[in-house]
Every structure is written in C-alpha cells, then in structure tokens.
Amino acid sequence: MSSLEDTWGRERLVATLYDFGVHNPVVGRVAALGLWGFDIRRLFSSIERLRDAAPGSRVLDVPCGGGLAFGGLQANHGLDYTALDFSPVMLQRASARMEKLGLDGIRFRQGDVGALPFDDGSMDLCLTYNGVHCFPDPARAVREMGRVLRRGGVLRGSLVVRDAGLRYDMLIALFRQRGWFGPGCSRDQFMGWLGSAGLMVRAVDVSGAFVVFEAVKR
C-alpha cells in the first residue's frame, strides 16, 4: 500500500492519471459525476474568478498539482503568482502546462502546505483546489493558509467531504487505504477549521460529495 508521499510525490501513475483526467473536459466531467456526484463545471466557474484579481495581487496556489488553477489566468495576468506543491512530478507537469498555455510570471516552489514558507498576511488570495482531502494534516493546512492571508484576503477552493452519503464515504475510505487521500473531514468540520483560522465563509456550493467555497480573512 502506498503512502500519501509515495502516491503524489514519487509514483507517477496516480498523479499522472489524475492530472490527465482533471484537465480533459470529457473525462473530468464524467469521472467527477460518476465518482462524487459532482458537477465539475462549478469548480471551473470558481477557477475563472481568478480573472477578477487585480494586477499585482499576491496569489498562492496550493496545491498547484499539474496547474489546474492556471486555467483561470490570462496571458498578461500581472499577478504575483506562486504555485506550491510537494510533488516534483506535479510541479513538472504544472511547469509544462504553463508553457503550453503561453503563460509566464508563475513562480514554482516545492513545499509543504503544513509549513508554508511565507510571512503572516503576505498573500491577497489563496487557491486550494482539490487538496484538503489529500493533505496529511488538513486542519493544520487550513490554519497555515489562513495565516498567510492578509486581513480581507480570500481563500477559494474545493474539496471532497465525508458524510455526504454512504457510497461516497466508502469511496473515500478506499482512496484513503490506497494512499490517495488523507484523513479528510466532514463539511461541518471544515467550516469549523475555517472559523478557527479567522476565515469567514462567503460562499458555499455543495454538489455531491464536493464543496466549492470562498472565505474571507477577518
């Protein structure tokens, strides 16, 4: 059985398959719906909101994976954009995607969401798509993302949650056993962590076992 580090950091198969699937409009849509009852268009609507960020905004994309959130960037985005992930495989894919999309101005860093290498209040916007259910210590990750956001800064993201239905919980348990998912959380637990991190929920969109959310740092 693989550990989380093996799955995302060392073994290429799961990371590559996931990343291929999530970037393919048909595969991504069918898989999200079939596995999680999730209408993935809601995720892409959230990602598109990146275009509203003012030039010069300091943006942290964690975990960047293969660069899913880059889809929301325009060519001359003018953002101070840092993409962080602990997986070298994913960072490589993200860098290739940046080139493919003809983007520049993205800084890549290998690191752990549980110990972000940034000062308190140093980010205007933090994006965390499909990461919380994979993190080894999701409560700590939420605390860290809250810490690096400035007052009025925004955390936007998506995650799979427990207690959304027996079928989903069984799948989560299986993914956890395989080392693809971390301990995860229920929706209520996640909302509690946001509150403890000083983040006020501004929008929540629930679809199947997925939550797409936006929260503001108080």
* C-beta of residue 103 within 8 angstroms of C-beta of residue 77: yes
Provide the minimum distance between the beta carbon of 116 and ligand SAM in the complex, in angstroms, as a whole number: 9
Per-residue DSSP letters for 86-129? S-HHHHHHHHHHHHHTT---EEEEE--GGG-SS-TT-EEEEEEE
d(CA 37, CA 32): 6
Q: Which is nearer to ligand SAM, 3 or 76 (CB)?
A: 3
d(CA 200, CA 218): 7
Provide the minimum distance between the beta carbon of 150 and ligand SAM in the complex, in angstroms, as a whole number: 21
Torsion angles phi and psi, residue 117, rounded to 5: -85, 50
* C-beta of residue 158 within 8 angstroms of C-beta of residue 213: yes
Residue ranges that bind ligand SAM, judged by CB under 6 A = 4, 8, 18, 22, 63-66, 68, 85-87, 90, 112-114, 129-131, 134-136
Provide the minimum distance between the beta carbon of 23 and ligand SAM in the complex, in angstroms, as a whole number: 8
Provide the minimum distance between the beta carbon of 91 and ligand SAM in the complex, in angstroms, as a whole number: 9
Q: Which is nearer to ligand SAM, 65 or 72 (CB)?
A: 65
Residue nearest to ligand SAM (CB): 65
d(CA 123, CA 146): 10
Q: Which is nearer to ligand SAM, 22 or 126 (CB)?
A: 22
Q: Which is nearer to ligand SAM, 61 or 124 (CB)?
A: 61
Find residue 214's DSSP bridge partners: 156, 203
Provide the minimum distance between the beta carbon of 64 and ligand SAM in the complex, in angstroms, as a whole number: 6
Q: Which is nearer to ligand SAM, 72 or 131 (CB)?
A: 131
Q: Which is nearer to ligand SAM, 82 or 87 (CB)?
A: 87
* C-beta of residue 93 within 8 angstroms of C-beta of residue 118: no
* C-beta of residue 196 within 8 angstroms of C-beta of residue 171: no
Q: Is the peptide bond before 117 cis (omega within 30 degrees of 0)?
A: no
Provide the minimum distance between the beta carbon of 164 and ligand SAM in the complex, in angstroms, as a whole number: 17
